[in-house]
Amino acid sequence: MMAVLEVRDLVKEYPVRSGVLRRVTGSVKAVNGVSFTLERGRTLGLVGETGCGKSTVGRCLVNLITPTSGSVLLEGRDVAGLSPADLRTARRQIQLVFQDPYASLDPRQTVEAIVGEPLQLHGLARGQERQRTAQLLDLVGLSASLLDQYPHELSGGQRQRVGIARALALEPEVIVLDEPVSALDVSVQAGVLNLLEELQQHLNLAYVFIAHDLSVVRHVSHEVAVMYLGRIVEHVDADRLYTSPRHPYTKALLSAVPVPDPRVERSRQRILLEGDLPSPLDLPQGCAFRSRCWKQTDACSTVPRLVDDAGHAVACYHPEPA
C-alpha cells in the first residue's frame, strides 16, 4: 500500500542575524533531516519538548512554512513540484488543526462562515454550503443550532470541535493536529480525543498528532517519533516505545511523566536530566543529546544515524537493549 504521506529528509533553516546591520551571521536548523511515512487510518505521534522542531515539521507539512530542503509527498506526489492548480488540490488532502481554539478562530465570523470558508475557497458544495456545514457540525458532535453563533459564545471544547469541522470540510486524507487538546481541561479533552478516534475510524483519516503530553500521545498514536533539537531520535510503534524505549532521551522523558497513581509514583525511579536544553545556536558537536546524556562516549562526537532495527528505529551509539 502506498503511504498517504511521505516526508523525506525535511530541513528547515532559519538565518541568524546579528550586529547593527542585521547581517546574516549563521543559521539555526529548526528541523534537521526528518523522514517518515504514514499510512491511511494511522496516527503518528510526534513528541518532544519545547524547541525540538515538532511544530515546524507540522507547518512544513501543510505548506505554512516552506522547507529549506527535503520533500513532502502526498500519495507519492511531491507537493513542491506542483503547478499552482495542482497545489490547490494537493492542499485539500492535508489540513491543520491548531492548538489554541481561542486564537485560531476569527472572532468576527460565525461558526457557519468559519466552517464553510474552505468550501467557498475551493468552490465546493455550491448553493448547499449551509447544509454541508450543518453536516460537518453534526460529524463533530455539535448541534446545527450553533451555525449562527460566534466563537466567544462557545466553550473551549466546542471551539476545538469547530476547528476540527473546518479541517474536515475539504475531506482531507491527512490531518496535522498541533497540540489539539493542550488548551483544554481534562474532562473536555477526553471528549475531543474520543471524537478524533471516531472520525479516524469512519473516514480512514491519517493523523500527525503533535503534542508534548506523552500520556495523550500514547492514547491516540499507533506509532510515535520522538524529536530532540530538530531530529527524530527514536521512531517505533507506540507500545514498544512506552514499554521498552531505547534512546536515553526517550527513557528520561518517559520517566519524567507523572502518572496519576500514587503507588506507581512512589515506586518509580525518575531519571533527572542534568542541565538545560542546549541553545540551538550552540549545539554540542555530534549527538545533540550528548551534553546531558549519562551514556555518552567519544563515539558520540559524530551525529548518530537513525537506524532501523526490526521496526524500532533509534539514533544512538549506546541504545538500551531491545
Beta-carbon contacts of residue 191 (< 8 Å; ≥ 6 apart): 141, 157
Q: Helix axis angle, 129-139 relative to 111-121, nearest 10°?
A: 110
3-state secondary structure of 225: strand
Nearer to another protein, 42 or 91 (CB): 42
> What does the per-residue mask of binding to another protein show for 281-320, with x meaning CB under 8 A?
----------------------------------------
Nearest distance from residue 225's CB to another protein, in Å? Answer: 17
The CA-based angle 209-215-216, given to 5 degrees, is 35
Interaction of residue 126 with another protein, rule CB under 8 A: no
Contact (Cβ atoms closer than 8 angstroms) between residue 266 and residue 254 = no
Q: Which stretch binds another protein (CB under 8 A): 19-27, 55-63, 97-105, 262-270?
A: 262-270
Report d(CA 135, CA 79) in Å as an integer. 30
Q: Which member of 121, 264, 281, 307 binds another protein (CB under 8 A)?
A: 264
Subset of 36-55 contacting another protein (CB under 8 A): 49-50
Nearer to another protein, 125 or 256 (CB): 256
Interaction of residue 276 with another protein, rule CB under 8 A: yes
Q: Which member of 151, 157, 230, 304 binds another protein (CB under 8 A)?
A: 157
The number of residues that bind another protein (CB under 8 A) is: 44
| 176 closest CA partner among 128, 139, 211, 136 | 211
Q: Give the CA distances from residue 314 to residues 54, 89, 101, 111, 305, in Å, rounded to whole numbers and listed in that order.
A: 17, 35, 34, 44, 8
Given its phi and psi angles, is residue 251 left (phi above 0), alpha (psi -120 to 50 degrees) or beta? alpha
Interaction of residue 143 with another protein, rule CB under 8 A: no
Subset of 232-261 contacting another protein (CB under 8 A): 238, 242, 252-261
Q: Which stretch binds another protein (CB under 8 A): 23-31, 77-85, 105-113, 214-222?
A: 214-222
Interaction of residue 186 with another protein, rule CB under 8 A: yes
**AA letter at 249:** Y
Rg (CA), the chain: 21
Interaction of residue 216 with another protein, rule CB under 8 A: yes
Q: Which stretch binds another protein (CB under 8 A): 5-13, 28-36, 97-105, 263-271?
A: 263-271
**AA letter at 308:** D
Nearer to another protein, 233 or 273 (CB): 273
Nearest distance from residue 197's CB to another protein, in Å? Answer: 7
* Local structure of residue 141 (DSSP, 8 states): T
Beta-carbon contacts of residue 62 (< 8 Å; ≥ 6 apart): 91, 94, 95, 96, 176
Which residues are bridge partners to 7 per DSSP?
36, 72
Binding residues for another protein, rule: CB under 8 A, are: 49-50, 155, 157, 185-191, 193-194, 197, 212, 214-216, 218-220, 238, 242, 252-265, 268, 270, 272-273, 275-277
